[in-house]
Amino acid sequence: MTETILATKGITKNFGALRASHDISIDLRAGEIHAIIGPNGAGKSTLIGQICGSLTPDAGRVELLGRDVTDLSTDQRARAGLGRTFQISALAMEDTVLENATLGALGASGPPWRFWASALGDKSLRDKAEAALERVGLAEARAKRCSDLSHGQRRQLEVAVALTLNPKAFVMDEPMAGLGAAGSKELTTFLDTLRHEAPILLVEHDMDAVFALADRISVLVYGEVIATGTVDEIRNDPRVREAYLGESA
Amino acid sequence: MSTILILEQVLNGLQFGVMLFLMAAGLTLIFGVMGLINLAHGSLYMVGAFAAAAVAGLTGSFVLALIAALAAAALAGAVIEIAVIRRLYNSDHLDQVLATFALILIFSEGTRWVFGSFPLFLDIPAALSGPVTLPGGIQYPLYRLTLIGAGLLVALGLWLLIERTRIGIQIRAGENDREMIAALGVDISKLYTLVFALGAALAGLAGALVGAIQSVQVGMGEPVLILAFVVIVIGGIGSIKGAFVGALLVGLTDTLVGIFLPEVLKLFMDAAPATSAGSSIASMSIYILMSLVLIWRPSGLFGARS
Amino acid sequence: MTRETLFNAALLLGLIAVPAWAVLADEPFTITLATRAVILALAAAGLNIALGIGGLVSLGHAVFFGIGGYAMGILAHHAQSYTNLMDWPFVIPGTKFMPVIWLVAIVTSALAALVIGILSLRTTGAYFIMITLAFGQMFFYFAISWSAYGGEDGMSIYVRNSFPGLNTLVPIQFYGLCLAMLVLVLIFSARLRRAPFGLALNAARQVPARLEAVGMDPTRLKLVAFVISGVITGLAGALFADLNRFVSPSMFSWQFSGEIMILVILGGVGRLFGPVAGAVTFVALEHFLGGITEFWHIILGLLLLAVVLFARGGITGLIAGKEVRHD
């Protein structure tokens, strides 16, 4: 059996009467892409929040490389090896592309208590940042201000920043959101190779991408995982068909 | 120390508290509905006090003075809302702070220009002067008692306005969803002017009422404004209930600690250093209270949890 | 060279040329004005790190200015009255020696900034503004009630404190000392904003969530920025007290906190030389308008309104263009 990198163990989260996550146990194994799908309001964002640390589960725990990280803050989890991308690009819009990428490299290189030498002049930081930009195809745009980027380029930069962290696991929140067909295809090809560096927990609405990429899929409905399995298993699962298509089981 | 003295100080604290509430209520309402942090609220307090002192000086009528205070502050509020403030609703807090700080400069110097640098005095009306005897034999100034009553009455009125009237519904809706109430056909800019003028009138009323027991002078508003901020931080931003509880807490803490701490310290040390240490610490007591609330509940006692 | 660089160079040149002219023309008052401008610029340069890079709208920076001032006042007061600051458990005498005074100003402002920062940074936005304002008022009232050190009246120092190798009683020498300090702080600020810390802090202002996601704690970054900022403003306070040979609770006042912020805004938020442009403008306005009318604050208020509503980049923005340069 392959090594489990990231796992949730029975996490539960309620907002008042709303059951946002109910006893969710999923795992992400080395080398795989595990996609989380589900209708709007199924609790995908809440799940990601608990995995990445912006929300604390009411019960259950989150494990990274076998270590319980439930009580760690978001930044501690990032340092422990969790690299995430945001559904809505979270980039420093006033800064350049290179500066944004350097930020990731900086986070991975330890605490930022350096007050004198230039960050962009630090060769190891800069090489790392440029390499990541190269990989997502943004090397040409490195000097551009982030606010001048197209939507697609911002999505690429999101991925590049996560790359600079050299994470043990990626958590990607709708990386394809708002990308055109060509952009989605390009990113799909890229993620396909990325999984061998670190596994990817992928929340995505673009079903073509999900079916093309996922080794396993978990279906989230009303805060519960109703099925986990390979693409074919999920396609043929009656409960999934019911949830998505309204067919009775 | 006698029970009478303690009760007297509790009443002083209450009186201070309800006056702070009049300030804090307007501030928190304006923040809640328009998302605006208004440093010039203290200037409106001052405008109320000066208007009252001027009209009382001319007519000798305290009632007319109060009406003048309400009208002048509401008018000043409406004017600055239309001329300056409404350009700031979509700005960040830094711009709001700077623009309203600029308004303080203009109001303070303008008032000094018109009225001069010497304080004015507003007399307590004859009908309300002198002490009354409360149950238990406590002698307490009638005017201060009236202030407590008036403050509580305004608090009740404000609660009824917000919970029970059409305007109140619109105000509450405005706190939640600007676009929604605009879509429902409410004239949002009129509503905002109205809310701002209402907050201003409350500040002006407080200025006039307090002006009769303190001197009326330029710069009187800002110390009260900052205390009102402390009230809001304690009570939770945007919450009228929080403003009420916070104001009473601050009023009572400030008054009681200032009186009793030196006495308590005298039990442990000599009288002179006890008095000076006591008054130093007492001057910080409400800020210590604020710090404790911040540690315990950063968004205030009744604030929405962040 | 960009227009902003040229503008900055012109400002710096003016800060050297005008006092040099004043020495030749025997105009000591001009040197005093220039010293005042340089010290205020230093205070504002402190705030500019918290506000300009970190986005922390602190309305309580007078706290640090006042602490720096009282560090000087208290130490010099004991030195000139030959009493000890403390006899037990250690004997701590006063001092008239600037480097020691500065060290004390730095340490005490850092401690105050740390405590105020930890409490205030539990919140953000409007709360942060109100809380820093409130803490400023707390120090103000504390200074008023601290009768051992002058209470409401403050304290006068008979002779300006000393610095090795200089005669600080000569206005231009004291000015040179203050200008050197300002230049050092500006160089430090320039390095800081390009250093890893500045890059991260700048991002913490714009997208705290991103910073967390790459493994950094935005609140801790802001706290460190707040402390650095407070220390620089505290140092300015010590110099300001030495300029006037007087400290009083008004150094802690909310008006002064507002004024420091005005300096930053007038000059241009986040601009390296913004505080300098702001302070020079402010002192010039104060001097010239103040000579015309005692109600010059009305004009200052109108000017500030105009900057906020119509000229977001401040003076530097008007002269050198809107965008903050990146390279």
Buried (b) or exposed (e) across A103-140, using 16+ Cβ within 10 A? bbbbbbbebbebeeebbbebeebbebbbebbebbebee
Smallest CA–CA separation between B260 and chain C, in Å? 16
In total, how many domains does chain B have? 1
Q: Which of A163, A196, A214 is the last residue of a domain?
A: A163
Residue position matching structure tokens 């702001």: C278
Q: Do chains B and A touch (3 or more CB pairs under 8 A)?
A: no
Nearest Cα residue in chain C from B96: C308
Q: Which of A137, A163, A189 is the last residue of a domain?
A: A163
In total, how many domains does chain A have? 2
Q: Is B117 an interface residue toward C (CB < 8 Å)? A: no
Q: Is residue B302 part of a domain?
A: no
Q: Do C212 and A74 touch (CB under 8 A)?
A: yes
Mean pLDDT by 10 residues, chain B (306 residues): 83 95 94 91 97 94 96 97 93 93 96 93 88 85 94 94 86 73 79 94 96 93 95 91 95 91 85 81 90 91 70
Show the tokens assigned to B175. 């706190």
Name the average pLDDT for chain A. 92
Q: Is residue B195 part of a domain?
A: yes
Distance CA A213, CA B45 (A): 65
Residue position matching structure tokens 């009656």: A238
Looking at the DSSP assignment, which residues form a beta bridge with residue C155? C247
Query: Is residue A239's pLDDT more than 90?
Result: no
| Residues A181 and A233 occupy one common structural domain | yes
A1 contact partners, CB below 8 Å, separation of at least 6: none
Q: Do A79 and C192 touch (CB under 8 A)?
A: no
Can you give the residue range of the structural domain that contains A123? 86-163
Which residues of chain C fall short of a pLDDT of 70? Answer: 1, 322-327
Show the tokens assigned to C51. 């506000």
DSSP A31-44: T-EEEEE--TTSSH
Q: Is B112 an interface residue toward C (CB < 8 Å)? A: yes
Q: Is C59 an interface residue toward A (CB < 8 Å)? A: no
User: Which chain B residues contact residue C258 at CB under 8 A?
Assistant: 101, 104
Q: Is C298 an interface residue toward B (CB < 8 Å)? A: yes
C-alpha B175: how far from its chain's center? Answer: 21
Which value does ipTM take for this structure? Answer: 0.92
Q: Is residue B280 part of a domain?
A: no
Mean pLDDT along residues A30-42: 92
In single-letter form, the type of residue at position C98 comes to M
The DSSP H or E segment spanning C139 is helix C125-145
Nearest Cα residue in chain C from A77: C215
| Residues A63 and A1 occupy one common structural domain | yes
Looking up residue C73, the CATH number of its domain turns out to be 1.10.3470
User: Which chain A residues contact residue C214 at CB under 8 A?
Assistant: 75, 78, 103-104, 106-108, 161, 164-165
| Residues A30 and A95 occupy one common structural domain | no
Q: Is residue C29 part of a domain?
A: yes
pLDDT of residue A249: 45
pTM surpassing 0.90? Answer: yes
Give alpha helix (H) positions in chain B: 3-34, 41-59, 62-83, 93-115, 142-164, 166-176, 178-183, 188-211, 221-235, 240-266, 271-296
pLDDT of residue B1: 57
Q: How many CA atoms lie within 13 A of B297 on its CB side?
A: 14
pLDDT in tens, A177-212: 888 888 899 999 999 999 999 999 999 988 889 999
In three-state secondary structure terms, C222 is helix
Query: Is residue A248's pLDDT more than 60?
Result: no
Q: Is residue B121 part of a domain?
A: yes
Q: Is residue C80 part of a domain?
A: yes
Q: Is residue B263 part of a domain?
A: no
Q: Is C269 an interface residue toward A (CB < 8 Å)? A: no
Looking at the DSSP assignment, which residues form a beta bridge with residue A67? A64
DSSP C57-120: --S-THHHHHHHHHHHHHHHHHHHHT-EEE-SSS-EE---BHHHHHHHHHHHHHHHHHHHHHHH
Distance CA C7, CA C325 (A): 13
Distance CA C311, CA B99 (A): 12
| Residues A132 and A237 occupy one common structural domain | no
pLDDT of residue C2: 82
Can you give the residue range of the structural domain that contains C233? 3-320
Distance CA A221, CA A242 (A): 11
Buried (b) or exposed (e) across A171-193, using 16+ Cβ within 10 A? bbbbbbbebeeebbebbbebbee
Select the residue from A106, A125, A128 to test the C interface by mutation, using most C Cβ atoms within 10 A.
A106
Looking up residue A242, the CATH number of its domain turns out to be 3.40.50.300
User: Which chain A residues contact residue C188 at CB under 8 A?
Assistant: 115
Can you give the residue range of the structural domain that contains B146? 9-218
Show the tokens assigned to A45. 């964002």
Distance CA B89, CA A49 (A): 31
Q: How many CA atoms lie within 13 A of C161 on its CB side?
A: 31
pLDDT of residue C326: 41
C-alpha C84: how far from its chain's center? Answer: 29
Q: Do C123 and B109 touch (CB under 8 A)?
A: no
| Residues A94 and A200 occupy one common structural domain | no
User: Which chain A residues contact residue C195 at CB under 8 A?
Assistant: 114-119
Q: Is residue C286 part of a domain?
A: yes
Q: What's the alpha-carbon Rg for chain A, to the nearest Å? A: 18
Distance CA B182, CA B174 (A): 9
Q: Is residue C327 part of a domain?
A: no
pLDDT of residue C325: 44
pLDDT of residue B210: 95
| Residues A8 and A56 occupy one common structural domain | yes
Show the tokens assigned to C159. 């002779």
In total, how many domains does chain C have? 1
In chain A, the largest separation of any two C-alpha atoms, in whole Å, equals 65
Q: Do chains C and A touch (3 or more CB pairs under 8 A)?
A: yes
